[in-house]
Amino acid sequence: MSVLVLVEHSGGIFKKKSLEAVQYAANIAKATGTAVTAVAVGDADNANMQALGQYGATKVLHTTDARLNEFNSRAYTRVMLAAAQKEGAKVIVGLHDTVGKAVTPRLAARLKAGLVAGAVSYPDLSKGFVVKKNVFSGKAFAFVNVTSDIKVITLMPNTFPVVKGEGAATVENLDVTFDDKDFSVKVVETSKASGSVPLSEAELVVSGGRGMKGPENWYVLEALAKELGAALACSRPVADSHWRPHNEHVGQTGGTIRPNLYIAVGISGAIQHLAGVNGSKTIVVINKDPEAPFFKAADYGVLGDAMEIVPRLTEAVKKFKGN
C-alpha cells in the first residue's frame, strides 16, 4: 500500500508544483498510515530524486528510456500502471496541468478508479473520501466523494505552500516493457518561450484588459511584471483582438489560475473573467472607472489612469526591492 505521485521535471530539476504534489501525497499517506512513492520518468539526477525525501517521499521509482524524454500520455500511463501495481497504490496523485490532465484520466479509466480533477483540499476521510475541487470555472467549489477502491487526484498547482523538511528518498529503477504503440504520437516540433514564468505556476501575475487601449501600451505591464518576477495574463477581449497571445487569456473560457498576487489593470471584472482568477490570494485592481465591478472582488484598489499608475508602481517595487 502506498500513495503514488507522478513528479515532473525539466532537465532533471523537479518543478516546484511537483514538490507541492509530493508534500500533498505525504499528508494523505500520513492520514492513511502509508508511505509516498514518487514516480519519475525520463533522465533525472539521483541526488535530485533522493531530495524528494525532503518533501515526504519515502521511495522514488525511476523509469528511463530514450523515448521517454519526450512526454507521451500513453507511455507515461504505462509507467504509472506498473508503479501502481508494484506498490499496491490506493491513492494516486498528479497535477492538474497539461501532463496530469493527459495521464491521470487514462490511468483512472484503466484502473477503474474515481478521479477528482483539480483538487484544492486534502481528502476528508471522516465522510468517506471527500475532496474539494473547483467547479464552474472558479465560481464555486464541489465536494466530491470517491467511492472506488483506488482513487486518483489531480492537485491544482499553487494550492498549498511548499515547506522543505528533512529526509532522503531511496531510488529504485522501475523496469517497464513498452509497446511501440505507446510512442505512436511523435513530436515534430517544439517551441518554448524561454525565461518567462509559466502562467499556471506563477505566484505573481500582472494582467491587462481592454482598458489598456492597445498592445502598444503593454510595455508598462511588461516592466512591472519584470520588476516583480511575475507572469503576464490578459482578459478575453484582449486575446480576441490579438493584442496578446491566447495562452495568456485567463477567465472562464481561458485559463484558471490561483496566484498569490493578481494585479488586474484596465479589466472591468466581468463574471466570466472573475471566475478564472478569484482563487488568487490577493487581488489588486487598477481601473479608471470607479464603477468597475472588479473593485468589489479586490483586496486593494487604485482609481486612475493605468499609464500613470503602473510605472509609478513599478518604481515603488524597484525602491522596495532595493532596500
| Closer CB to other proteins, 169 or 223, in the complex | 223
CB half-sphere exposure, 220, CA atoms < 13 A: 23
Place of cell 476528508: 124
| Closer CB to other proteins, 30 or 101, in the complex | 101
To other proteins, the closest distance from the beta carbon of 232 in angstroms equals: 12
**Helix (H) or strand (E) segment spanning residue 231:** strand 231-234
| Closer CB to other proteins, 113 or 267, in the complex | 113
Q: Which amino acid is at 213?
A: K
Which of 115, 124, 97, 122 is closest to 152 using CA atoms? 115
**Helix (H) or strand (E) segment spanning residue 9:** strand 9-10
| Closer CB to other proteins, 136 or 219, in the complex | 136
Cell numbers for 92: 494516486
**Helix (H) or strand (E) segment spanning residue 130:** strand 130-135
Q: What is the bridge-based pairing of β-strands 9-10 and 13-14?
A: antiparallel
To other proteins, the closest distance from the beta carbon of 244 in angstroms equals: 12
To other proteins, the closest distance from the beta carbon of 96 in angstroms equals: 8
To other proteins, the closest distance from the beta carbon of 53 in angstroms equals: 25
d(CA 239, CA 83): 41
| Closer CB to other proteins, 18 or 58, in the complex | 18
To other proteins, the closest distance from the beta carbon of 14 in angstroms equals: 14
d(CA 48, CA 60): 10
